[in-house]
Amino acid sequence: METAEIRRRFLNHFEQRGHLVVPSASLIAEDPTLLLVNAGMVPFKPYFLGDLTPPAPRATSVQKCVRTVDIDNVGQTARHASFFQMCGNFSFGDYFKAEVIPWAFELLTEGYGFKPDDLWATVYLDDDEAEEIWKGLLPAERIQRRGKEDNYWSMGVPGPCGPCSEIYFDRGPAYGRDGGPEADENRYLEVWNLVFMQFERGEGAGYEFPILGDLPAKSIDTGMGLERMATLLQGVENLYEIDISRPVLDRAGELTGKTYGAQHGDDVRLRVIADHTRTAAMLIADGVVPSNEGRGYVLRRMLRRAVRNVRLLGGREPVMENLFGVVQSAMGPIYPELVDRAAAITAVAVGEELAFLETLRTGTTIFDVAVGKAKSTGAAQLAGEEAFQLHDTYGFPIDLTLEMAAEQGLTVDEPGFRRLMDRQRELAKADRASRRIGNVDLSVFRPILARSGPTSFTGYTELTRTAT
């Protein structure tokens, strides 16, 4: 089943049950506490908090999400992408557990054709109500109780909180141990999280907060991973291999001279390239530009990691223009913004790629000299001084130095590097402080400048003339 069809069936299912279909919001969160939208409920927060009146008591959406916390899992696990789409249905003080659990079950079994025997559910430790509802749908041995880490949700202080119930698909013994999601989250793939906003919470760190009472109106927030569903319904191994990202994976292979599926280490890198390229395209389409902070830094990191991985696979030529073309045709049917401004979006990525390749080019020469020196003296380590120079003078990120050194069988004196970084920060601080003390008021010169205009230095031409 194509991703587009999975998406259509989700929205239909909930539209038929009285939900207003709401388009995805931009990845740039309106919420000032959040860099990027990381869940389907984010655009609806003001309705859950009671700050705004919702346009309808029930809504459904497929929201673009970016999760930088999952970046280290990208390429490694079958289920984590840095950009993904969360299908959600929401009740703003309207329906609750008795409706949402059977609706989710119906969609999975009747709508998508999952066998009930493959499904597991988890509920929070003391949530007897949710467990009772599940018992009408699944045998008791496939319902597990889990603690706060996995099955509790809260937002703001004071704010709503409540238990969750998650739905898992058993991929079978080839994927890991028996024993349900509590035992193995690779074998049991989490596909859907149902959040029951039920109580008001008080002050407290982590999960150590008191429950102040019931919310006047109970609400529902759910999130079903579109790409995870596609992985299962398309019978592929992981979410990078589904219809909307496989073409990027294959093109990354062509561009680096690798065949996807031939070698595990290469496959991980190809998945990282495909994932990060897509995330970058989606971020740029929503107006993010590369920079050294905030969202711009997330984008910069995505592009640089993609370029680095291309390089580590042996690619030497720029690839972004080519890869962006594939992302745009794979994702364009759902996100026309990618296609409407295709040239401008690609130009941002290409600019960043060329600048980074230049950094890599100069830095790599210096790096090779340092490696040669270390090897000729029999040292197993690059000096902190060298890593620092690469960073300070050539803009070489330390993680890149570490990775490249490891490939040469060398370590890096990281503590030494950190000490030099600290010293540089101290010096810069002292320098700023001394400049403040010695600050001279230059404003007296302004009238002179206004009268005579700027002075231009003619020494070069004058001297040349005298000399000839």
User: Would you count residue 162 as binding ligand ATP (CB under 6 A)?
Assistant: no
Site for ligand ATP (CB under 6 A): which residue of 37, 78, 81, 108? 81
User: Per-residue b/e over 347-378, b at no fewer than 16 CB within 10 Å?
Assistant: ebbbebbeebbebbeebbeebeebbeebeeee
Phi, psi (degrees; rounded to nearest 5) at 438: -85, 15
Burial class (CB in 10 A: 0-12, 13-18, 19+), 43: buried
SS3 425: helix
Q: Which is nearer to ligand ATP, 119 or 370 (CB)?
A: 119
Q: Which is nearer to ligand ATP, 230 or 374 (CB)?
A: 230
Cis preceding linkage at 158, omega within 30: yes
Helix (H) or strand (E) holding 164: strand 159-170
Q: Which is nearer to Mg ion, 152 or 199 (CB)?
A: 152
Residue 457 has which token pair?
């230095």
Binding residues among 172-231 for ligand ATP as defined by CB under 6 A: 190-193, 223-225, 227-228
Q: Which stretch binds ligand ATP (CB under 6 A): 73-81, 254-262, 312-320, 453-461?
A: 73-81
Q: Which amino acid is at 358?
A: E
Give the whole-angstrom CA distance, residue 187 versus residue 122.
Answer: 15
Task: Specify whether the CB–CB gap between 226 and 244 falls below 8 A.
Answer: no
The site partner of 81 among ligand ATP, Mg ion, none (C-beta below 5 to 8 Å per kind) is: ligand ATP
Q: Which stretch binds Mg ion (CB under 5 A): 85-93, 183-191, 382-390, 401-409?
A: 183-191
Q: 128: which residues sit within 8 A by CB, 6+ positions away?
A: none
Query: In whole angstroms, how close is the CB of 86 to ligand ATP at the nearest point?
Result: 5
Question: Applying CB under 6 A, what is the total number of residues that bind ligand ATP?
Answer: 16
Q: Which is nearer to ligand ATP, 245 or 401 (CB)?
A: 245
User: Would you count residue 67 as binding ligand ATP (CB under 6 A)?
Assistant: yes
Give the whole-angstrom CA distance, residue 361 versus residue 305.
Answer: 15
Binding residues among 222-261 for ligand ATP as defined by CB under 6 A: 223-225, 227-228
Q: Which is nearer to Mg ion, 80 or 251 (CB)?
A: 80
Q: Which residues of 283-351 form beta strands (DSSP E)? A: none
Residue identified by tokens 């010293």 is: 423
Give the whole-angstrom CA distance, residue 276 versus residue 364.
Answer: 23
Site for ligand ATP (CB under 6 A): which residue of 79, 146, 271, 278? 79
Q: Which is nearer to ligand ATP, 190 or 386 (CB)?
A: 190
The site partner of 67 among ligand ATP, Mg ion, none (C-beta below 5 to 8 Å per kind) is: ligand ATP
Q: Are strands 152-154 and 159-170 parallel, antiparallel or unpaired?
A: antiparallel
Question: Applying CB under 5 A, what is the total number of residues that bind Mg ion?
Answer: 2
Query: In whole angstroms, how close is the CB of 84 to ligand ATP at the nearest point?
Result: 3
User: Would you count residue 107 as binding ligand ATP (CB under 6 A)?
Assistant: no
User: Would you count residue 193 as binding Mg ion (CB under 5 A)?
Assistant: yes
Q: Which is nearer to ligand ATP, 258 or 276 (CB)?
A: 276
Q: Which is nearer to ligand ATP, 79 or 258 (CB)?
A: 79
CA angle 39, 40, 41 (to 5 degrees): 95
Q: Which is nearer to ligand ATP, 73 or 389 (CB)?
A: 73
Q: Which is nearer to ligand ATP, 54 or 88 (CB)?
A: 88
User: Would you count residue 271 as binding ligand ATP (CB under 6 A)?
Assistant: no
Q: Which stretch binds ligand ATP (CB under 6 A): 80-88, 258-266, 284-292, 306-314?
A: 80-88
Site for ligand ATP (CB under 6 A): which residue of 6, 22, 59, 86? 86
The site partner of 331 among ligand ATP, Mg ion, none (C-beta below 5 to 8 Å per kind) is: none
Q: 384: which residues sit within 8 A by CB, 6+ positions away?
A: 412, 413, 414, 415, 416, 417, 418, 419, 420
CA angle 377, 382, 388 (to 5 degrees): 135
The site partner of 194 among Mg ion, ligand ATP, none (C-beta below 5 to 8 Å per kind) is: none
Q: Which of 382, 392, 390 is nearest to 422 (CA)?
A: 392
The site partner of 79 among ligand ATP, Mg ion, none (C-beta below 5 to 8 Å per kind) is: ligand ATP
Q: Residue 421 region, left (φ>0) first, then alpha (ψ -120 to 50), else beta? A: alpha
The site partner of 404 among ligand ATP, Mg ion, none (C-beta below 5 to 8 Å per kind) is: none
Give the whole-angstrom CA distance, residue 307 versus residue 277.
Answer: 9
Binding site for ligand ATP (CB under 6 A): 67, 70, 79-81, 84, 86, 190-193, 223-225, 227-228
